[in-house]
Amino acid sequence: MTDAYARLKRRFARIATLGEAQAVLHWDAAAMMPPGGAAARGEQLAALAGLGHELLTAPAVADDLAAAEAAGAWDAANLALMRRAHARAAALPTALVEASARANSACETVWRGAKAGSDFALVRPALEEVVRLQRETARALSAALGLAPYDALMEGYQRGVRAAEVEPVFAAYEAFLRDALPRAEAIQAAKPAPVAPRGPFPVAAQRALCRRLSERIGLDYAHARLDESLHPFCGGTPSDIRITTFYSEEGFEKSLLGVLHETGHALYERGLPGAVPGGAWARQPVGESAGMAAHESQSLIIEMQACRSDAFLAFLGGELHRAFGGDAQPYGAANLGRLWRRVGRGFIRVDADELTYPAHVILRFRLERAMIEGALEVADLPGAWNEGFSGLLGIAPPDDARGCLQDIHWHDGAFGYFPSYTLGAMAAAQLMRAARRDIPALDGEMARGELLPLVAWLRERVHAQGARLGFQDLLRHATGKPLDPGDFVEHVTARYLVG
């Protein structure tokens, strides 16, 4: 190991440590902080981000990166990730970063009112400024990294996959869905209507159930907490995971499935090379996750692939009935399947079912790419949205609140993130298929509520790889092939298109 590389490892560990502090402060802001602390918290987070950026772009870093040499695949990958992080940070002038932060924050504030009043005109000027600065950011990153502008943004969320690879995958799914959705609706209509369990469902019982099931799946509460926040998430640090959910006495479906989803994220973080205390990759770039699509694959393989499977629902029904009592019939596996795997055409992405969710993402991917490439102006966004949505799902949003105003992402400056949701869902199906092949007893284990064999397989094939591999290479390593949307199509066909 050269001196320069050793210095870089120390510097990146320090940057990661600041990142850990930010993660805890973010969690606290969402789950604990009294409202009066918000303004000061914003400044605390900004100060830590600023110091991290200074450490990453200090003049000594470029010299060390030029001089450093690393032997072995892991150190080489680590050094490459350092170079990439530095190149991204150095490519953006401070004035542009600050202008973006201000524009994003201003737009997000206006957007809340615009969404509430379904008033696109209200947010349009602020969103135009956000898009103008995102285009400038994309151009700067494009020049520095040698990527297309949209790819340069997307790579900030997920390395190792390009828009040119995503577009045909999405086009094929669009074609599949055109035929599959009416068939799935017809098959569903021919089945008995699901029976909803009768509430109320006490929050204390839900909380205990969520904790017990997440623990059973493999979350170690010596290194984790489960709390509450308005928008559920998985945060914290590798040795101290913080997952959150939101309880309502009227139903347990959202809180429970949400916790199982966040547990998938949490297990990934806990299984990363960076989570080994004092390990070689603790607080090093290569010890981190492979990106947002990889992360979403880990939450969805737990929630969608495993926990909503026929096998696991047979186990889960008994647990639910024990927790909430009352009539046993709604807790039968077949009824739970009909309840929690309903398909339908809706306007809201976060309420969408597994089959139609990709349509919501495909629309956003095409529109945001067109905006970044200059082929679509913000003024034309509502029209393009409504036209695209009707083309994909055959229904037209009645207003912009249920159309292009529904998501925070663009209004907060996040362009290039949306594909991660569907890439993650497709990767989850592909990984599950490979796991079933490697572990013949998998469904039998799941029927007994046992997910540990699946998690152990993911540990080895995905978690333990850290950020060594980009998205496509990670899938190649874990399943023997790059992203193959056929596995997802096969999964939804078996689940929704068999009468």
**In the complex, which residues of this chain contact its own copies (CB under 8 A)?**
14, 17-18, 20-21, 24-25, 28, 32-37, 39-41, 43-44, 47-48, 51, 220-225, 236-240, 277
Pick between residue 28 and residue 128 the one whose CB is nearest to its own copies. Answer: 28
Q: Which residues of 402-425 are buried (b: 16+ CB within 10 A; e: fewer)?
A: bbbbbbeebbebbbbbbbbbbbbb
240-245 and 224-228 beta bridge pairing: parallel
Output 14 or 436, the one with its CB closest to its own copies: 14
Q: Decide whether 2 or 44 has the Cβ nearer to its own copies.
A: 44
Q: Which is nearer to its own copies, 240 or 310 (CB)?
A: 240
* Number of neighbouring beta carbons within 10 Å of residue 490: 14
- Give the nearer residue to its own copies in terms of CB position, either 44 or 188: 44
For its own copies, the closer CB: 218 or 403: 218
The residues carrying an active-site annotation are 262
Distance of alpha carbon 12 from alpha carbon 54, whole angstroms:
12
Min separation Cβ 7 and its own copies, Å: 16
Nearer Cβ to its own copies, position 236 or 382? 236
How far apart are CB 86 and its own copies at their closest, in Å?
A: 19
Residue 462 has, within 13 A of its CA and on its CB side, a CA count of: 34
* CA angle 42–46–50, rounded 5-degree value: 175
State the nearest-atom distance from the C-beta of 270 to its own copies, in Å: 10
Which of 222/498 has CB closer to its own copies? 222
Closest separation between CB of residue 276 and its own copies, Å? 12
Nearest to 264 by CA among 231, 308, 222: 308
The burial class, CB within 10 Å (0-12 / 13-18 / 19+), for 174 is middle
Classify 279 as helix, strand or coil: coil
CA-CA distances (angstroms) from residue 389 to 177, 373, 394, 488? 13, 20, 7, 22
DSSP string for residues in 88-124: HHHHS-HHHHHHHHHHHHHHHHHHHHHHHTT-HHHHH
> Containing H/E element for 240?
strand 240-245
Question: What does the block give as tokens for 180?
Answer: 């599959």
Least distance (Å) from its own copies to the CB of residue 48?
6
Q: Which residues contact 163 (CB under 8 A, 6 or more apart)?
A: 148, 150, 151, 154, 365, 369, 419
DSSP 8-state symbol, 287: G
DSSP reduced 3-state for 248:
strand
Q: Could you say which DSSP state residue 277 is in?
A: T
CA 48 to chain centre: 24
- Number of alpha carbons in the 13 Å side-chain half-sphere of residue 321: 16
Least Å from the CB of residue 258 to its own copies: 20
Q: How far is the CB of 379 from its own copies (least distance, A)?
A: 36
Q: How far is the CB of 217 from its own copies (least distance, A)?
A: 17
